[in-house]
Amino acid sequence: MLIMNIIGIYRFYADGFRSMTTGRVLWFIILVKLFVMFFIIKLFFFPSFLKDKTAEEKQDYVGNELIMRASDSYAK
């Protein structure tokens, strides 16, 4: 019964996407925007400065940041 419902839902959406005309262009635009947001912007604006550090240095950095942010939130 559950599998039949899942298959029915899948067929409903598959038929809907198959018959779209304007929607395909809009979904393409959405996917391009998501790609730009998550891959391109991350590469240029959020470099991974922890990748060349050892595991212990990473742990120390993350621990210190968590402590500093927690103490800053209590100070406000």
For residue 44, the model assigns a pLDDT of 83
For residue 61, the model assigns a pLDDT of 92
For residue 16, the model assigns a pLDDT of 87
Which residues span the domain enclosing 58? 48-76
pTM, entire model: 0.49
Q: In terms of DSSP H, where are the helices of 1-76? A: 2-18, 22-35, 41-45, 55-75
Question: What is the domain count for the chain?
Answer: 2
- Whether residue 60 is found in the same domain as residue 32: no
- Whether residue 32 is found in the same domain as residue 64: no
d(CA 56, CA 53): 8
For residue 43, the model assigns a pLDDT of 83
- Whether residue 60 is found in the same domain as residue 35: no
Could you tell me how many residues make up the chain?
Answer: 76
Closest CA to 24 of 12, 16, 36, 34: 16
- Whether residue 76 is found in the same domain as residue 40: no
- What residues contact residue 27 under an 8 Å CB cut-off, 6+ apart? 20
d(CA 4, CA 12): 12
Q: What is the pLDDT along the chain (76 residues), one digit of tens a residue?
A: 888 899 999 999 888 888 888 888 898 999 999 999 998 888 888 778 788 899 999 999 999 999 998 887 776 5
- Whether residue 40 is found in the same domain as residue 53: no
